[in-house]
Amino acid sequence: MDVKIDILTLFPQMFDVFNYSIIGRALRNNILSINTIDIREFTKDKHRKVDDYPYGGGAGMIMTVQPIVDCIKEVKTRNSGKVIYLGPRGKTFNQSIARELSRESELIFLCGHYEGIDERVYKYIDMEISIGDFVVTGGEMACIPIVDSICRMIPNVLSSKESYMEESFYNGLLEYPQYTRPECFQGNDVPEILLSGHHENIRRWKRAKSLIITRNKRPDLFKKISLSEEDKKLIKLYDENR
């Protein structure tokens, strides 16, 4: 499966991070492709400007409409995916959106900069995503974690399906505690149940701890969970603060 992602940006070099680790391996194995396109290459301004003062006044500069639209149109000739703008009006990104977008075979991300984009660009945008109610330097800073989150759920990017299915947020819960060697470190032991080899008991412990940690750390998430009768019993069994 070859998934194509094009990123429209003023700073292509910022996305070199994808050449490393898990995503870098997926790129080398041709499981997906991530291409950066410099919006500045499409400006018709002789000084290569891509920003200007806003009509009506206001602080800062705005990315101009012409280079962005021409860039989108050119990329659309080889990528039919949704155009996704990283901006403050968008729905806040979460695991559900990541899962939805990971099923797409082609995507286009538009990174804004300065004080935003000319309003007329929105005509060419299919979806807007925000990473939260705070300000970052540019859309690139939001695009990196979003693309990473999407890519790791594409088949064969990770070594096994379980690698992401048991991670925090995938099923609406925070992840259970995990341990590795040594078995005892400065008087702190690995829970005995994890050394037992009893797979069903281990599964029940992991489920219980995931539920309890989510309840304690993220009650907002816990409220959305529909607890089974087994879940309720497991919480009572393993809740150390009861």
Q: Which residues are annotated as a binding site for S-adenosyl-L-methionine?
A: 112, 131-136
CA distances from 162 to 8, 150, 157 (A): 32, 16, 12
Q: Encode 83-109: b = buried (16+ Cβ within 10 Å), e = exposed.
A: bbbbbeebeebebebbeebbeeeebbb
Question: What is the Cα Rg of the chain in Å?
Answer: 23
Number of helical (H) and strand (E) elements in the chain, helices listed first: 8, 9
H or E stretch covering 67 = helix 65-76
| Residue 91 · residue 130 · CB < 8 Å | yes
State the burial class of residue 214 (Cβ atoms within 10 Å of its Cβ: 0-12, 13-18, 19+): buried
Beta-ladder partners of 7: 36, 109
Known binding-site positions: 112, 131-136
- Which amino acid appears at position 227 of this protein? L
